[in-house]
Amino acid sequence: MEYNDQIRNRLKRLEGQLKGVIRMIDEGKDCKDVVTQLSASRSAIDRTIGLIVSTNLVHCMSDEERSQGKDKEVLIKEAVDLLVKSR
């Protein structure tokens, strides 16, 4: 699968977010603020996973070679399983 600029940009923003959390910890910031930023990071990760899985699913369903002859229902089930597994 090819990963587009949108996915790369999300991950770069997430990297910056996590560096910010580390900086907050180094500065002794309040626990509530650190946890809030970590929750935001987790949400960003979840959204990125969803984007990757959905993009891959669209490609697989539109490209018979990538789907390796699998039924579309099987492809959808695999995508949903990936999303569930990521939680």
Report pTM.
0.76
For the segment 11-52, what is each residue's pLDDT rounded down to a tens digit?
999 999 999 999 999 999 999 999 999 999 999 999 999 888
Residues present in the chain in total = 87
For 24-35, what is each residue's pLDDT tens digit?
A: 999 999 999 999
* Confidence at 85, pLDDT banded by 50, 70, 90: confident
DSSP-derived secondary structure letter, 69: T
> What are the structural domains of the chain?
5-86 (1.20.58.1000)
Q: What is the pLDDT of residue 39?
A: 96
Q: Is the pLDDT of residue 67 over 70?
A: no
Q: What's the token pair of residue 72?
A: 């579309």
